[in-house]
């Protein structure tokens, strides 16, 4: 059975997963400590479980936003592996990974790569927009665009923003935490995506990390 290999370093600790291209036989592994990012790629042989890279027919990777270092490691490795083995590569936004498939808008998917900073992608009835920055600023921007009294389904790393939204009159409807590990969700969603024409076409979305860099007056990453 041919496999899809999924790698995530954006949504917390590094994780990897494989799933049959027919959607069967999912297997995953995740780091348990922050210092595991640099050795996180060792989980790839673990999820392959004795199978070789010859069994891998496709690769998927989370493109961000999220944790800056983990995102860069996973994306660089996924691109290198896709080039080396001439495999199709699917990039999936972190927002898509954390966003539930069966929840109607208005819906906000939250991602945080640094304490006190958040990115939110909001799907409203006739609009989709993204806000990144400090938790207070994101909450204020969402409240201003949605209006008090709006019920808002919230998924992902929204803890720093939820109370602030409630203070501004938004009716918050939190959804359960992302299935663990994120790479497993990524793998299942990637099966429904079309690979990039070229791995170079897949770019990282650094989101709130870029905001933080600009705020400190440093050059853009």
What's the per-residue H, E or C state across the chain? CCEEEEEECCCCCCEEEEEECCCCCCEEEECCCHHHCCCHHHHHHHHHCCCCHHHEEEEEEECCCCCHHHHHHHHHHHHHHHHHHCCCEEEECHHHHHCCCCCCCCEEEEEEEECCEEEEEEECCCCEEEEEEEHHHHHHHHHHHHCCCCEEEEEECCHHHHHHHHHCCCEEEECCCCCCCHHHHHHHHHCCCCCCCCHHHCCCCCHHHHHHHHHCCCCCC
Highest mean pLDDT: which range of 35-49, 95-109, 165-179, 197-211: 95-109
Do 19 and 81 belong to one domain? yes
* pLDDT for 35: 57
Interatomic CA distance for residues 101 and 88, integer angstroms: 24
- What mean pLDDT value characterizes the chain? 88
The tokens for 57 are 């027919």
Residue 219 located in a structural domain: no
Do 33 and 77 belong to one domain? yes
Which domain range does residue 12 map to?
Answer: 3-94+179-207
* pLDDT for 38: 62
pLDDT over 50 (residue 213): no
- pLDDT per residue over 52-76, tens digit each? 999 999 999 999 999 888 899 999 9
Do 116 and 90 belong to one domain? no
Do 106 and 170 belong to one domain? yes
Do 152 and 195 belong to one domain? no
Do 85 and 27 belong to one domain? yes
Residue 218 located in a structural domain: no
- pLDDT per residue over 25-49, tens digit each? 999 988 877 655 667 778 888 899 9
If one counts the domains in the chain, the total is 2
Do 108 and 60 belong to one domain? no
- pLDDT per residue over 11-30, tens digit each? 988 999 999 999 999 999 88
């Amino acid at each position: 059975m041919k496999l899809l290999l999924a790698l995530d370093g954006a949504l917390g600790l590094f994780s990897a997963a494989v799933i049959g291209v027919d959607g069967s036989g999912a297997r995953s592994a995740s780091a348990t400590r922050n210092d595991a990012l640099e050795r996180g790629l060792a989980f790839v042989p673990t999820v392959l479980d004795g199978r070789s890279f010859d069994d891998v027919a496709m690769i998927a990777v989370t493109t961000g936003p999220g944790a800056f270092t983990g995102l860069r490691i996973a994306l660089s490795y996924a691109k290198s592996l896709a080039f080396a083995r001439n495999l199709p590569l699917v990039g999936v936004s972190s927002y898509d990974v954390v966003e539930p498939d069966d929840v109607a808008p208005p819906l906000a998917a939250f991602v945080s790569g640094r304490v006190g900073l958040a990115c939110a992608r909001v799907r409203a009835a006739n609009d989709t927009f993204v806000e990144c920055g400090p938790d207070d600023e994101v909450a204020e921007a969402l409240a201003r665009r949605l209006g008090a009294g709006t019920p808002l389904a919230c998924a992902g790393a929204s803890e720093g923003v939820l109370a602030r939204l409630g203070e501004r009159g938004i009716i918050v409807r939190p959804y359960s935490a992302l299935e663990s590990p994120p790479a497993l969700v990524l793998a299942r969603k990637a099966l429904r995506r079309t690979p990039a024409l070229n791995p170079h076409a897949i770019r990282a979305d650094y989101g709130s990390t870029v905001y933080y860099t600009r705020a400190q007056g440093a050059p853009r990453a």
